[in-house]
């Protein structure tokens, strides 16, 4: 039976209050940007023409209302987005340095996203997607941790490709050891995984990225993408690996860079209409180039979802950069 939804993602939907200059009184200004890693990824896929749906929880407050409308405006289905009056929508405050790198402070004690329960899950939706994607922020505490794992089980049993992004935010965990243990425990559940350069070493204890890829693949993954910042990405499978260079751009804000890369990669993969194990080296390279292009465009603007480019912009960027 043909699956109706291309990608379903579960996890945090939040406001990134991003540093945006200084007021006339000398105080920092913060701009309200809709974000959350799973939502950023879905926005890319939606822009690329795919049906997407989000599973998560928000509060019945001004920020929750804003986030729900944002997803709907981006073409992402919100039928499985739960609104709960008992909890406040999660907020993140983001400082940005001169290189576009970020420092996070979260208002999440608890945030609505951490309170997603198994009874909130739309099992039909989970059984009707080609790709199910989740991250590690929903693993930081219960009940969202158990709910996430149950959603993975349902989607996997229905034949979905399971995608995982261990998006490490130190301040959301009791300590590094707990974070590593919980994030590593989810790896064997996934088929494909995107991980940053620093996270790959943290999770594996490896001395370099090739060794990190080896150790991650030993967990049963079919494909690992280790993002390397401006240097591009290392794509590894049990049979092959290659590094695909990134595009040189002037970064303003790196929020959502990894999410947008992975959204571009998975969107390109969906267009190939193949099993992940059937991809050729050239096809994996094509997917990585698409992901790098999306990320390269994303970091030139502020915020997460607002910075996600259109399909036309992505295709034009690739043509311009690869025809040189």
In 3D space, the residue among 19, 172, 174, 39 whose CA is nearest the CA of residue 108 turns out to be: 172
Residue 8 is predicted with a pLDDT of 98
pLDDT bucket at 1, cuts 50 / 70 / 90? low
pLDDT in tens, 100-129: 666 788 999 899 999 999 999 999 999 999
Residue 225 is predicted with a pLDDT of 98
Residue 252 is predicted with a pLDDT of 84
Question: Where along the chain do its domains lie?
Answer: 5-10+36-88+114-323
Angle, CA of 4, 43 and 108, to the nearest 5°: 110
Percent pLDDT > 90 in the chain is 85
pLDDT bucket at 241, cuts 50 / 70 / 90? very high
Separation of first and last alpha carbons in the chain: 43
pLDDT bucket at 160, cuts 50 / 70 / 90? very high
Neighbours of 129 (CB within 10 A): 23
Residue 324 is predicted with a pLDDT of 55
Fold observed for domain 5-10+36-88+114-323? 3.40.1190
Question: Parallel, antiparallel, or unpaired: how do β-strands 76-77 and 52-59 relate?
Answer: parallel
- 137, 202 contact by CB (below 8 A): no
pLDDT in tens, 24-50: 999 999 999 999 999 999 999 999 999
Angle, CA of 91, 97 and 98, to the nearest 5°: 145
């Amino acid at each position: 039976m043909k699956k109706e939804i291309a990608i379903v993602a579960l996890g945090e939907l939040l406001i990134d209050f991003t540093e945006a200059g200084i007021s006339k009184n000398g105080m920092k200004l913060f701009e309200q940007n809709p974000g959350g890693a799973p939502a950023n990824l879905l926005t890319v896929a939606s822009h690329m023409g795919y049906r997407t749906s989000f599973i998560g929880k928000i509060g019945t407050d001004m920020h929750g209302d804003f986030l729900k409308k944002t997803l709907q405006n981006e073409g992402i289905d919100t039928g499985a987005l739960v609104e709960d009056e008992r909890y406040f929508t999660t907020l993140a405050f983001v400082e940005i340095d001169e290189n576009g790198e970020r420092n996070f402070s979260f208002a999440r004690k608890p945030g609505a996203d951490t309170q997603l329960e198994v009874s909130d899950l739309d099992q039909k939706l989970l059984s009707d997607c080609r790709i199910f994607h989740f991250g590690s922020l929903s693993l930081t505490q219960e009940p969202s941790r158990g709910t996430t794992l149950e959603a993975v089980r349902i989607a996997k049993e229905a034949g979905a490709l399971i995608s995982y992004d261990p998006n490490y935010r130190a301040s959301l965990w009791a300590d590094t050891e707990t974070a590593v243990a919980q994030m590593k425990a989810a790896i064997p559940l996934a088929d494909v995984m995107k991980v940053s350069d620093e996270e790959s070493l943290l999770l594996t204890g490896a001395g370099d990225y090739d060794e990190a890829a080896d150790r991650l693949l030993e967990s049963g993954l079919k494909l690992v993408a280790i993002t390397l910042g401006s240097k591009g990405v290392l794509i590894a499978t049990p049979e092959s690996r290659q590094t695909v260079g990134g595009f040189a751009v002037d970064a303003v804000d790196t929020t959502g860079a990894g999410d947008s890369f992975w959204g571009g990669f998975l969107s390109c993969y969906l267009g190939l209409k193949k099993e992940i194990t059937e991809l050729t080296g050239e096809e994996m390279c094509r997917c990585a180039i698409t992901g790098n292009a999306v990320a390269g465009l994303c970091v030139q603007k502020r915020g997460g979802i607002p910075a996600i480019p259109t399909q036309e912009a992505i295709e034009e960027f690739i043509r311009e950069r690869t025809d040189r």
